[in-house]
């Protein structure tokens, strides 16, 4: 049924990009948009690790992926260069996939960048590379993956946490840390985590405070060369750096943090200044003359205790270079609820969508299981209604022809014996009697077999002969008034039978007319509910995530109308023909009873 519907919908082809490797039957185009309508970043950035978030609202091929995801490949815009990537989370039941991919170059101010996700190769072997998914200046990355008792570094340096008392819980990006009062994460000092005066450093993370709180330390670092505190006092965020030469650098306390809301906090430690950003926007700066420094790190508390933070934290990252504001803006727009950087497009298939595709293929490809059930039901209804309309049209057309032929010959009889046109039904006629359409198509029609008027006539003649007999002089015996009345009642009975035969199966058209739009509307409502439920689960509300699912849901209403509209026209046309045939039967019955009374009456 899916192939049949797809054959109907694939109407408008367009050119597509060349295929990377024929062993991978499926691919997903992903647009990189840094224009004003997207991430709005004008500067170029190199070696940027971006988050690809897939869910039921923007990707329908979860069950085409291998369970271990060894078939995943990410390819650059040239459709030739493999990209480094690693999976943070894959939830097949809830249809969620979070993958980090390293892009060699992200050009600013354009909406034509692209990468490709290939999948579906059952023979593929795993190609994930977590460490090389980040550039050389990435010192530490914690995803806080579910099942980790101690946070593990996803980067190449293996700067895993030394201890942790905070719990890992579902979070903004798959999972994160939840800090209750006194919980913390301890990270040992290592050379790869050192901040140098020449390059500076960057510390970033997603933050959701549980409430406004007294001086809570989100990060405390102390060791050779200085001490760094990133703190939160009520809704005031601040950063304080005390260097070994005794110089103290502290930003103003900016009221920029809201309770129970995810925000992206970034501290840029440049050689000449200290900068705080929230959601990519600069909120405070302080001049500095940076010196090399390092030391152990505590998250959610001080290294010696005190200053506890209550809330959640996710995607903690340390870079040993001062990142630009544009780099931070890319991270916010990519990792945030509304992914403005990456736009998930319609998946393609090799030999189908991979070589040509149209918007109808997008709609068909976006259908979920509920959508396919509704569309399949409507397609069955459509086929049934078309078969009924076709069969009834043939039958009604044959009725009109046989009625006309019979009436023409009947009127030529004049005042002679009205029984002259009567014929005995053959065995073949009797076998086809219960299938009017088959009789109309394959019957002989040598004595008006498809004519309901003839069958009324035939029944009346049989009733007359049963009362008079076929002997010579039978007409002289005549029919009594009671006999004429009885024959009239028989004609009425036969008319009811013929009307039932004419109207048989018409109820299927009324069901299609009345039920098709409602079933389609039901499918649309359920489909839209599923789309918004998926968006609520994933937090991705960009138009490319919503549009395919909504379009697929609306396809159910369109299909319902495609069932109902032809059925409505066909029903009205056929009923007009049936009413005309019914009126002819009534006129003939009245006339024929009168003629029988005149010819056979006493």
Which candidate, 456, 452, 459, 460, places its Cα nearest to that of 400?
452
Confidence (pLDDT) at 123? 93
Which candidate, 457, 434, 451, 399, places its Cα nearest to that of 590?
457
Q: What angle do CA 102, 109, 207 make, to 5 degrees?
A: 55
CB 242 within 8 A of CB 220: no
Question: Residue 110 is inside which H or E element, if any?
Answer: none
Please give the average per-residue pLDDT across 498-502, as a whole number: 86
Evaluate if residue 4 carries a pLDDT over 70: no
Quote the CA–CA distance of 51 and 101 in Å, as a whole number.
6
Confidence (pLDDT) at 13? 38
Confidence (pLDDT) at 435? 64
Which candidate, 86, 58, 84, 74, places its Cα nearest to that of 24?
74
Confidence (pLDDT) at 529? 85
Selection from 2-6, 159-163, 396-400, 536-540 with the highest mean pLDDT? 159-163
Confidence (pLDDT) at 44? 92
Per-residue CA distances from 33 to 101, 107, 110 (Å): 15, 9, 6
Q: N- to C-terminal Cα distance for the chain?
A: 67
Lowest mean pLDDT among 13-17, 198-202, 272-276, 523-527: 13-17
Q: Which residues pair with 285 in a beta bridge?
A: 275
Cα 374 to chain centroid, rounded: 13
Q: Does the predicted TM-score (pTM) go above 0.85?
A: no
The SS3 assignment for 356 reads strand
Evaluate if residue 360 carries a pLDDT over 80: no
CB 545 within 8 A of CB 336: no
Q: Is 433 exposed, middle or buried (0-12, 13-18, 19+ CB in 10 A)?
A: middle
- Tokens representing 546 are 């919503």
Confidence (pLDDT) at 280? 94
Tell me how crowded residue 424 is: count the other CB atoms within 10 A of its CB: 8
359 pLDDT tier (thresholds 50, 70, 90) = low
Confidence (pLDDT) at 15? 39
The values of phi and psi at residue 273, to 5°, are -165, 160
Evaluate if residue 16 carries a pLDDT over 60: no
Q: Is 430 exposed, middle or buried (0-12, 13-18, 19+ CB in 10 A)?
A: exposed
Evaluate if residue 434 carries a pLDDT over 70: no
Instruction: Dump pLDDT digits (tens) for 529-576.
Output: 887 877 776 665 555 556 667 877 888 899 999 999 999 999 999 999
Evaluate if residue 343 carries a pLDDT over 60: yes
Q: What angle do CA 221, 223, 227 make, to 5 degrees?
A: 50
Instruction: Dump pLDDT digits (tens) for 160-176.
Output: 999 999 999 999 899 99
Evaluate if residue 80 carries a pLDDT over 70: yes
Confidence (pLDDT) at 341? 94
Evaluate if residue 470 carries a pLDDT over 70: no
- Residue where the block lists tokens 């009520």: 234
Selection from 7-21, 141-155, 501-515 with the highest mean pLDDT? 141-155
Confidence (pLDDT) at 241? 95
Task: Give the rounded percent of residues in the chain with a pLDDT score beyond 90.
Answer: 52
The residue among 117 and 364 whose pLDDT is bigger is 117
The residue among 15 and 148 whose pLDDT is bigger is 148
Tell me how crowded residue 163 is: count the other CB atoms within 10 A of its CB: 13
Confidence (pLDDT) at 441? 60
Confidence (pLDDT) at 566? 92
């Amino acid at each position: 049924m899916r192939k049949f519907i797809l054959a109907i919908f694939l109407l408008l082809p367009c050119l597509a990009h060349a295929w990377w490797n024929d062993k991978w039957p499926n691919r997903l185009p992903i647009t990189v948009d840094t224009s004003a309508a997207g991430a709005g970043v004008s500067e170029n950035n190199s070696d940027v690790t971006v988050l690809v978030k897939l869910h039921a609202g923007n990707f329908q091929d979860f069950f085409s992926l291998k369970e271990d995801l060894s078939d995943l490949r990410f390819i650059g815009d040239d459709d030739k260069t493999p990209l480094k990537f690693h999976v943070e989370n894959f939830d097949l039941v809830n249809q969620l996939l979070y993958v980090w991919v390293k892009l060699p170059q992200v050009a600013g101010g354009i909406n034509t960048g692209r990468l490709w996700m290939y999948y579906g190769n059952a023979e593929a072997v795993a190609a994930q590379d977590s460490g090389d998914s980040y550039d050389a200046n990435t010192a530490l990355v914690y995803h806080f993956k579910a099942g980790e008792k101690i946070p593990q570094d996803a980067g190449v340096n293996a700067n895993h946490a030394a201890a942790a008392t905070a719990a890992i819980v579902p979070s903004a990006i798959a999972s994160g840390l939840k800090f209750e009062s006194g919980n913390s994460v301890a990270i040992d000092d290592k050379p790869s985590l050192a901040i140098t005066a020449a390059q500076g450093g960057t510390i970033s993370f997603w933050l959701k405070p549980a409430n406004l709180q007294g001086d809570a330390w989100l990060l405390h670092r102390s060791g050779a060369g200085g001490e760094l505190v990133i703190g939160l006092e009520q809704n005031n965020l601040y950063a304080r750096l005390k260097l070994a030469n005794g110089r103290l650098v502290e930003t103003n306390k900016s009221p920029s943090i809201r309770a129970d809301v995810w925000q992206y906090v970034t501290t840029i430690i440049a050689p000449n200044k200290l900068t705080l950003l929230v959601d990519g926007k600069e909120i405070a700066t302080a001049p500095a003359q940076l010196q090399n420094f390092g030391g152990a790190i505590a998250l959610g508390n001080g290294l010696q205790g005190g200053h506890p933070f209550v809330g959640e934290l996710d995607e903690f990252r340390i870079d040993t270079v001062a990142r630009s504001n544009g780099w931070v803006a890319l991270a916010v727009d990519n990792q945030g609820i509304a992914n403005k950087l990456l736009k998930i497009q319609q998946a393609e298939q090799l030999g189908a969508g991979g070589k040509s595709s149209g918007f109808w293929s997008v709609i068909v490809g976006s259908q979920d299981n509920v959508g396919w059930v509704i569309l399949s039901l409507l397609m069955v209804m459509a086929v049934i209604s078309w078969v009924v309309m076709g069969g009834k049209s043939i039958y009604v057309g044959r009725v009109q022809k046989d009625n006309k032929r019979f009436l023409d010959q009947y009127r030529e009889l004049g005042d002679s014996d009205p029984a002259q046109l009567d014929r005995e039904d053959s065995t073949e006629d009797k076998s086809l009697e219960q299938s009017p359409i088959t009789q109309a198509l394959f019957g002989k029609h040598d004595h008006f077999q498809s004519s309901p008027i003839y069958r009324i006539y035939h029944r009346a003649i049989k009733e007359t002969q049963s009362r008079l007999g076929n002997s010579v002089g039978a007409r002289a015996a005549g029919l009594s008034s009671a006999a004429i009345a009885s024959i009239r009642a028989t004609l009425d009975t036969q008319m009811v039978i013929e009307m039932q035969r004419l109207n048989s199966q018409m109820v299927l058209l009324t069901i299609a007319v009345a039920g098709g739009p409602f079933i389609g509307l039901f499918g649309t409502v359920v489909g839209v509910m599923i789309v918004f439920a998926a968006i609520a689960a994933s937090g991705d509300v960009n138009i490319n995530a919503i549009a395919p699912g909504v379009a697929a849901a609306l396809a159910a209403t369109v299909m319902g109308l495609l069932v109902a509209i032809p059925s409505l026209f066909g029903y009205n046309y056929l009923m007009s023909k049936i009413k005309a045939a019914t009126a002819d039967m009534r006129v003939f019955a009245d006339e024929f009873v009168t003629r029988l009374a005149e010819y056979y009456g006493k």
